[in-house]
Structure 1
Amino acid sequence: MSHIPYGYEVKDGKIFIVEEATDKVRLIFQNYVSGMSLTESAKTAGHPITHSMVKQLLQRKCYIGNSFYPKIVDENLFRRVQIELQKRQKSTGKTRRKVPVIRTNFVLSDEREPQENFTKQAEYLYSLIGVK
């Protein structure tokens, strides 16, 4: 079974709300919308976790409820948090990850000389590969 999000627990194969945790989840959402940082939102709510974990928590759609998870957060509040997350990302310039350049155009030299065993032959052939 996959990880159960904070604020929920499994009993007899069904998902239930953990009341003391749901108050913290709601408060984290409210704190963030009110202007607190990710880390400060969780710390003030009594659930100090890293900023990346807070962000993941704020982006989990399960908190607005679905056929499996009971509703913890109002859909309007959830939407406001998503808008605020995007707004803050844009203001810091962190909207896109830098994607590393992966070279896929390779050439193999025509110069080949047989080697004494398969391992040495493979090492030799790999040494002939170059980037176009």
Structure 2
Amino acid sequence: MGHILYGYQIINGKAEIDEQAAERIKTLFQSYLTGDSLATAAKKAEIAAYHAGVGRMLRNKHYLGDEYYPAIIDPDTFAAAEAERIRRAEMLGRIRESKQEPEVVYPTVFRIREGTERLDDLFQQAEYAYSLIESEEP
């Protein structure tokens, strides 16, 4: 495996919790939940990471545990951190609502008239055949 998630170490081919780093992860989550910014929470947890990296750590579901990684963070703490992240983003106006695109209705029924002309040029024949197609809009 080329990259191991912060807070874990590989022992005998299995991911196991690095206790010292796991405590830093827990401190990161707790600091963020008490109101610290991402950078401040990382400093308190003694994690050398930038704003975006810390944000990705807070959203990484592997910390909840899965088939490869054992759990470091409990689901309640993880959900609370995600709710806090969304609350802060909304407060700062950083949530982008997707624009509603008008629904385009494409014709789904086509009819073709009987073609009677036979042309020597294949491109003209194809053009003629396409001109016989009529669409019905619902």
Quick one: distance in 1 between partners of 2:5 and 2:71? 12
- 1:1-132 matched pairs, under 5 angstroms: 1-96=1-96
1:53-83 deviation per Cα after TM superposition (whole angstroms, max 9, x unaligned): 1000000001011121101011100000000
SS of 2:57 mapped into structure 1: helix
**TM-score normalised by L of structure 2:** 0.67
The structure that has the greater radius of gyration is 2
- The alpha-carbon distance between structure 1 residues 13 and 52, as it changes in their structure 2 partners (threshold 3 A), is same
CA contact (8 A) 1:39 1:48 kept: no
Q: Give SS of 1:54's match.
A: helix
Q: Which runs of 5+ in 2 are unaligned?
A: 99-138
* Runs of 4+ in structure 1 over 2 Å off: none
Which letter maps to 1:37? Answer: S
Classify 1:41/1:97 alpha carbon distance in 2 versus 1 (closer, same or farther; 3 Å): farther
Which consecutive residues of structure 1, in runs of 5 or more, have no partner in the other structure? 99-132
CA gap of 1:97–1:10, structure 2 versus 1, over 3 A, is: farther
Task: Name the amino acid aligned to 1:70.
Answer: P
User: In structure 2, how many angstroms separate the alpha carbons of the residues matched to 1:86 and 1:70?
Assistant: 26
Equivalent residue pairs, number: 98
